[in-house]
Structure 1
Amino acid sequence: MEEITLNKYSEVKPKFLKRIIWLIVNKTIFRCLVGDKLFAVRNAILRMFGAQLPKRVLIYSSCDIYAPWNLKVGKFSCLGPHTEIYNKDRIVIGENAVISQGTYLCSASHDITSLLLPLVTKPITIGNRAWVAADAFIGPGVTIGEGAVVGARAAVFRDVEPWTVVGGNPAKFIKAREIKD
């Protein structure tokens, strides 16, 4: 096997200065805008950094968003407290979707077929009316179908079919989601 050391690793850093400015805003001003009543101010700040958000979206002040310019959220959706949105690639969240507290949406990983482990990114899509429960992990390239439920602490590495419930690590089909009202 060829001798390769990680000191030869380099990664393209697009929008580096914008990313630094956003990091400072996200960790200071954004964090101070707590409570439901200030959601519009938080959304306005996210829009200033390129996020695509309608007026009625609830994004908690403790949410960590890596790159707002790679985020699109549909109306009436919620990104709960202490969620991490690692969106080196695009993350699209549909309408009326809930991303519960502590969830980690991760659109990047590394190519394990190379000793240099170059960064690879893939977009994540969360469908309308989907619910990703507390502390779940959603990996790169995953699509959560419309109305699907991802159970608490699940680790999702493959697409989830619409109107199904999955859970576990790795997440597996539990049952079809049936609406009774």
Structure 2
Amino acid sequence: MLKEKVIIFGVNDFAQLAHYYLTNDSEHEVVAFSVHQAYIKETSFFGLPVVPFETVETFYPPTAYAFFAPMSPAKMNRVRHDVYHEIKAKRYRMISYVSSKSTHFNNQIGDNCFILEDNTIQPFVTIGHNVVMWSGNHIGHHSEIKDHVMFTSHVVLSGHCVVEPFSFFGVNSTIRDGLVIAEGSLISMAAAVFKNTEPWSVYKGNPAVKSSVSSRDIHF
């Protein structure tokens, strides 16, 4: 079977990891990397060409190639959001990577998702577009994760939760069942959330309390 040819957006650690996972654990063939012209420092990355995003379709037309943009959560996932829509505007299909070493149950998963090993995604969970889930998370049954969200590692999201766009979950954070995590919520490392959150807010501690800092001001 022919492997689908994919361009990865980025030339950083996330891009390197994506190249490794797609090469060793998917039915895709990475053929190039792409970033905006202003960020090109070398013309190759891991032996593959780095092409300017502004003109990428002249080298790799969207009729024959797909894209993958597994980017960091910079500016509360808003940078990844912007790139996602720039790629969509060029009419590329965007793939998702779901590790063969994750546990899932025919869940609905959107495009440009990067889901690594040892994630447990229980039945009746839905995941939107442009979501990154690092390794070792538990996503409880009947939960809904919307677009442009980032889970780090060892996060427990209990059942029947709704996660609104642009949210971020730090390592070892825990969310009680049935909660709504509002748009742009930043759940800090090891925080335990027992109540619905407020939009663009930061939560720390156990039990988690709202910080005076807005997550809009977080730049990572």
TM-score with structure 2 setting the length: 0.52
**Residue type of the alignment partner of 1:78:** V
Q: Looking at both structures, which has the greater relative contact order when contacts are Cα pairs under 8 Å and sequence separation is at least 6?
A: 1
Q: 2:135 aligns with which of 44, 66, 81?
A: 81
After superposition, give the CA deviation of every residue in 1:100-128 in whole Å (9 maximum; x if it has no partner). Answer: 10101111xxxxxxxxxxxxxxx101110
Q: Which residue of 2 aligns with 1:178?
A: 216
Residues 16-44 of structure 1: CA deviation (Å, up to 9, x unaligned)? xxxxxxxxxxxxxxxxxxx5314646379
* Equivalent residue letter for 2:216: E
1:140 aligned onto 2:177: yes
1:45 offset after TM fit, Å? Answer: 10
> Equivalent residue for 1:42?
98
* Alignment check: 8 A CA contact 1:133 1:151 kept: yes
Match of 2:196 in 1: 159
Q: Which amino acid aligns with 1:36?
A: Y
Gap change, CA 1:58 and 1:131, over 3 Å in 2: same
**5+ residue gaps in structure 1?**
1-34, 108-122
Identify the match of residue 152 of structure 2 among 97, 100, 113.
100
Which structure 2 residue ranges, 5 or more long, are not aligned? 1-19, 27-95
Q: Shift in Å at residue 161 of structure 1?
A: 0.5
Query: What CA deviation, in whole Å up to 9, does each residue of 1:117-171 have, x standing for no partner?
Result: xxxxxx1011101001110001111111111100000001100101000111111
Task: Report the residue type matching 1:98 in the other structure.
Answer: M
Give the aligned length.
Answer: 127
Per-residue deviation, residues 37-96 of structure 1 (Å, max 9, x unmatched): 1464637999x93311122111112112232xx111111111221111232xx1111111
Distance 1:179 1:50, change over 3 A: same
1:179 deviation in Å?
A: 3.8
Identity of aligned residues (%): 20
1:94-133 pair list within 5 angstroms = 94-107=146-159, 123-133=160-170
> Structure 2: how far apart are the matches of 1:179 and 1:131?
13
State the Cα RMSD in Å: 2.5
